[in-house]
Amino acid sequence: MEFINTIPYPLIAVAIFMFGLAIGSFANVCIYRLPKKESVVFPVSHCTACSTPVRPFDNIPVISYLILGGKCKDCKESISVIYPIIEVITALLILAGFFKFGLTFDFLIYTVVAPTLVIITVIDIEHQIIPDVITLPGIVLGLAAGSYTIGYIDSFSGCLLGGGLFYLLAVLSNGGMGGGDIKYIAAAGALVGWQKVLLIIFIGAFLGSFMGLLQIVVQKKSRKSLIPFGPFLAAATLITLFYGNLLIKLYIENLAS
């Protein structure tokens, strides 16, 4: 740790951003393969059009995309711009986490959580699912990390409260709440505790309602149109991780006044 303290802060930030780009590249693999129930390890990255394996020097996040002009080097098929966008978004989120938490255990947890939220968001938008392969290990890891950071009682309470509320909502709405959402909020609750999981639910519901109204007004969609809830829960989780303590403090102060 003393060695790290000798490294200039801007240089550490650059290294963190580059690390985030690499994580974003792996997030792309997960986004593409998990809905198909494919391994995220084998086979190696390949062109989705011609199946040619991507050479290591052609698989550098963002840079390779720009050098290749957004096309496969072999078959010249266009590569979706969503890939570098996800890499940059993931890198920016991880860099923001570094600025918020520093080189701490909380930041280590965040480097797992932030890319996972990106993966969940894109998969839920494209496929309307949140895969069990993400949420079930997420519950276990959330309980493990939460027990260390906030205490096992708060962690288990958050898991049970979040999952229980969403399960009850799913029953009352006759399936209006997906199973993936239930398991996701249980994992989130395990990580942040019972108070902050309520905040996640409130913010997620607010964002989801706002977007639903926007689609009705602007896109003339029906009130019965399905809107994936995962992206709003993911956004609410990020907001809570960064500003949860402040928002809860403001809420309590307003109640007392």
d(CA 157, CA 210): 29
What is the three-class DSSP state of 216? helix
Domain ranges of the chain: 1-127, 129-257
For every one of its 257 residues, what pLDDT tens digit does the chain have, with 9 covering 90 and above?
Answer: 566 678 888 999 999 999 999 999 999 999 999 999 999 988 888 887 788 888 888 888 999 999 989 898 888 889 899 999 999 999 999 999 999 999 999 999 999 999 999 999 999 999 999 999 999 999 999 999 999 999 999 999 999 999 999 999 999 988 778 899 999 999 999 999 999 999 999 999 999 999 988 888 887 666 566 789 999 999 999 999 999 999 999 998 888 76
d(CA 94, CA 78): 28
H helix and E strand count, the chain:
10, 0
Q: pTM of whole model > 0.85? A: yes
pLDDT given at position 143 = 98
